[in-house]
Structure formats: structure tokens, C-alpha cells
Amino acid sequence: MAQLVPMRKAFGEALVALGEKNEKVVALSADVFNSDHSYMFAERFPDRFFNVGIAEQALVDVAVGFALNGYIPFANTFAAFFATRAVEMVRSHACYGGARIKMMAAYAGLSDSFDGPTHNSITDLAIMRSLPNMTIVVPSDPNTLTEMLTQIAEWDGPVYCRLNRNDVPAPFDSSYKPQIGKAFTARDGGDVSIIACGLMVSRALEAAEELQKQGVSARVIDMHTIKPLDNEAVLDAARATGAIVTAEEHSVIGGLGGAVAELLSDQAPVPVKRTGVQDRFAETGPYDKVLDAYGCAVKDIVDAAQAAVKAKK
């Protein structure tokens, strides 16, 4: 098992570093800053940190007020609340009204596993992806997040960025320079392509190892930007390998798998198998166990890849 590194701490440190570089950066919280680690920014920049209480709708609207008046607000709460309770605020003012807010969506996917399904966010990518003008980033590990946070601040539009609650494997080191909107081929292969995001990138790499033993050569793509999707990378993978698997910590409806399937059905139809949570809520338990039981196991990816390869003509 790969060594695990803390994602939350990496976020807190990266946000402080960003605050040092750019005085226009402010941070807002809906009273969970000790959870998401934005408290580190609060300690360093108390005059640029605002806690609006347990009020996620106001969190987004207050951030909108900052964004429309010359600041770069990083709004912090749990993913599940941005993409459910506050979504009208996001749609009306960030996506339609042009407020360039940065939503740091903590405890994303199944990563708040012990708090259970109320705190999981397995529909957020689908919800956010349907909104015009939205940009969605799902960093796979602390290095990727650290590299992308500056780009998120400078990005000319609202950004929804998923953050994993837990210590996670780090497939990439600081030599990895991800760019918003540009997919990265983490492993090359010719028989099938696994397109993954977030924690599932490391699991996809594990699956590729296993597939290798089974005689299948798999390409693994880190699709850290769900929107705008790197269409060229997806089309190239489809044409070069003829079969696609998607892997995400999200419902199989409407997220990364949905985006890839929509594109390929239109422009390069090849077998596509989507892995992820099967249109249901998960349950409480240890993170790995919940992931494995709800469609995010390495074996799910391996099986899907074999099925996709078989489905090729």
C-alpha cells in the first residue's frame, strides 16, 4: 500500500501560501474551518477570514459580494452543501451573474465516510457540471491540489474544487505540473484507457498494474478537470485504445463518466464502461471499505476494463 499523505493539511498550507502571494484572496467559512483546515488561513490572516455561521446559502452569496467587488473569495464548506443547499446561489450569481467565486468543496465524494450518506457528495459533479460557465476541478493528491490552487485563484470564472477529507495516496510528486483543462496521461497503454479523477487516479493506476498481469495494457488518464473537459485527450484515448473506462468517487450518473460518454457517443463511439456509485446512497463505515463496497474498488475498474476490451469489435 502506498504511503498516505494528508489532503486537508495540504489544502490549508496551499491556501496560506496563496494568501501570502495575493492580497486579494479572502477566505470564508460556514463554521467548519477546523474540519476543512481553512483555519490555517484564519490564523495567518484574521482580517481576511469571515465565518458566516452555519449558513451555506449566505456563504455563497457573501462570497459573491466579494467577487463582484474586486476580491478573490475562497468559500469553504462541505461539498454536499455547496452542491445541494446553496446551488441556486451558485447558479444565479456565479454562473449567470459572473461572480468569480472559488468553492472549496471539502469532504467530497465518500471521503467523509464515518459521517455517512448525509455527508457524502456523490451527485455534486453532475449538479455543478450542468451549470453553464462552471469549472470543476478534482485534484488527485496534495501535490496536484497545491499546483492547481494558484490557477484556481487566477481562473476567469467560478470554480468548484473537490477536496478529499482523508490521507490519500500521492501518485504524483512536485514535478507534476497539472493545468486546468489539460488531462495528464499518467500511464500509457494500448488496449483500454481508464479516465479517472481524484482519489480514483491512484486506484486506476493500481488497476492498470493488475490488468498488466492479466495481459491487458491500460492507459491511465488523470482527468483532474471535469469541466471544461479535455475533449482531445478523451477522443485520442478512444481512437488509440478503442475502449474506455471511467472511474470516479461519484454516482455513475452525470459526472466524469457522464461527460465522457456524452462526448464519445457523439464523436467517437467506442465501448464505455462507467465505474462509480450505482445510483444509490452509500452507508457509514471505514473509507476504504465504503469505497470498495460502493463501486470504487480497484476490482471494479479491472472488471470494467476487461468488459470494455471484450466489447471491442
Nearer to another protein, 59 or 110 (CB): 59
Report if residue 96 touches another protein, rule: CB under 8 A. Answer: yes
Round to whole Å and give the CA distance between 112 and 286.
9
Report if residue 220 touches another protein, rule: CB under 8 A. Answer: no
249 carries an active-site annotation: no
Catalytic residue among 13, 20, 43, 56: 56
Report if residue 71 touches another protein, rule: CB under 8 A. Answer: yes
What are phi and psi for residue 24, nearest 5 degrees? -80, -10
Report if residue 20 touches another protein, rule: CB under 8 A. Answer: no
Smallest separation, CB 53 to another protein (Å)? 7
Sheet containing 272-277, strands listed edge to edge, beginning at the edge strand earlier in sequence = 184-187, 218-222, 192-196, 244-251, 272-277
Report if residue 69 touches another protein, rule: CB under 8 A. Answer: yes
Nearer to another protein, 26 or 216 (CB): 26
Crossing angle of helices 298-311 and 200-213, in 10° steps, is 60
> DSSP character for 180?
T
Where are any strands of DSSP class E within 86-181? 102-106, 135-137, 159-162, 167-169
Among 8, 37, 48, 162, binds another protein (CB under 8 A): 48
Report if residue 89 touches another protein, rule: CB under 8 A. Answer: yes
Report if residue 22 touches another protein, rule: CB under 8 A. Answer: no
Report if residue 130 touches another protein, rule: CB under 8 A. Answer: no
Sole residue written with cell 454536499: 80
Write out the three cell numbers for 194: 481508464
Report if residue 92 touches another protein, rule: CB under 8 A. Answer: yes
Longest Cα–Cα distance in the chain: 62
Smallest separation, CB 56 to another protein (Å)? 9
Query: Which helix (H) or strand (E) is 63 found in, with range?
Result: helix 56-67
Query: Which helix (H) or strand (E) is 219 found in, with range?
Result: strand 218-222
Nearer to another protein, 59 or 201 (CB): 59
Residues of this chain that bind another protein (CB under 8 A): 26, 47-48, 50, 52-53, 55, 57-58, 61-71, 73, 88-89, 92-93, 96-98
